[in-house]
Amino acid sequence: MKIISWNVNSVRARITNILDYIKQSNPDILFLQEIKTQDENFPYEDFEKRGYHSYVYGQKSYNGVAILSKSEIKSISKDFIVDDLKQSRIITGEIFLKKKKIELINVYVPNGNPVGTTKYDYKKNWLNKFISSIKKKLMKNSNLLIAGDFNIIPEEIDVYDFRRYENDALGKLEIRKKFRELLNLGFNDIYRLKNKDKQEYTFWDYFAGSWQKNYGMRIDHFLLTNNLIENIKSISINKKPRSMIKPSDHTPIELQIN
């Protein structure tokens, strides 16, 4: 099974690139973040023609998450946490791999910049609520897969120049500690598990030639509970979509799971 996560930075603006990518990569499940559209304006038919069910938690102009899947996903939920600002940032569902019931959690974590503002406070509070909900979920199901745009740089190796981001909401120590707190609940950062010292990125800004200079950062992640590690076949970052015309500033991260 191929499960892919991709912040598309507007599903309608990138629809041609997304459909081309689906044709080439043929995912079983595709997590989308930052779809930037309300549910009623989501391009359901485009994906249905290609054999995908669409599960959408949209929002006008901002945020929004969706799950595309070849097979039906059970127990879709949009209320994993109580969001103070009522932003569309998490959608969850369930699949079965043999006898394992796996909870799928697609997230778009707040950016939080600038530090020292209400946006940064919102990010910290959001992460606290998210971690609390994960703890409760683990008491009911120990098979969890979390993927999406975390807007967190886990380690210095995960950005081209860490000094530039030490006081940024993506790289600030107290935010990275929240990521570590999540891992300590019994999760693995699958890309880093499989690539101990490899420096690859999932995001390149549109400005200052960041893509051409490879001034990127790894902020999109797959976190799986420890008991799912044996099911992992491979994980990779596919840079090709970032090089297309009118690309998202993120690129897909691809997980193969048995």
Instruction: Supply the CATH number for residue 101's domain.
Output: 3.60.10.10
CB 150 within 8 A of CB 105: no
Please give the average pLDDT of every successive group of 10 residues along the chain, which has 258 residues: 98 98 98 98 98 98 98 97 97 92 97 98 98 97 97 98 97 98 98 97 96 98 96 97 97 96
What pLDDT was estimated at residue 97?
A: 84
Burial 207-227 (b: 16+ CB within 10 A, else e): eeebbeeebbbbbbbbbbbee
* Catalytic center residues: 108, 149
pTM score: 0.97
Residue closest to 171 by CA, chosen among 129, 250, 223, 111: 111
Question: How far apart, in Å, are the Cα atoms of 88 and each of 82, 84, 98, 128, 246?
Answer: 11, 11, 31, 17, 24
**Number of domains comprising the chain:** 1
CA distance 166 to 46: 41
Residue 233 tokens read as 């076949």
Q: How many CA atoms are closer than 13 Å to the CA of 185, on its beta-carbon side?
A: 24
Which residues are CB-neighbours of 68 under 8 A, at least 6 positions away? 22, 27, 29, 30, 32, 47, 52, 53, 54, 55
Q: What is the DSSP letter of 81?
A: S
Which residues are CB-neighbours of 154 under 8 A, at least 6 positions away? 176, 179, 180, 189, 192, 218, 221
Cβ atoms within 10 Å, residue 164: 12
Residue 218 tokens read as 């790894």
Which residues are CB-neighbours of 114 under 8 A, at least 6 positions away? 120, 169
| Collapsed DSSP state (helix, strand, coil) of residue 82 | coil
Q: How many residues does the chain have?
A: 258
What pLDDT was estimated at residue 99?
A: 84
Burial of 206 (0-12, 13-18, 19+ CB in 10 A): exposed
Which residues are CB-neighbours of 248 under 8 A, at least 6 positions away? 6, 7, 8, 9, 10, 14, 17, 241, 242
The structure tokens 């103070």 sit at 84
What pLDDT was estimated at residue 185?
A: 98
What pLDDT was estimated at residue 116?
A: 96
Residue closest to 239 by CA, chosen among 208, 218, 209: 218
Residue ranges making up the domain that contains 54: 2-257
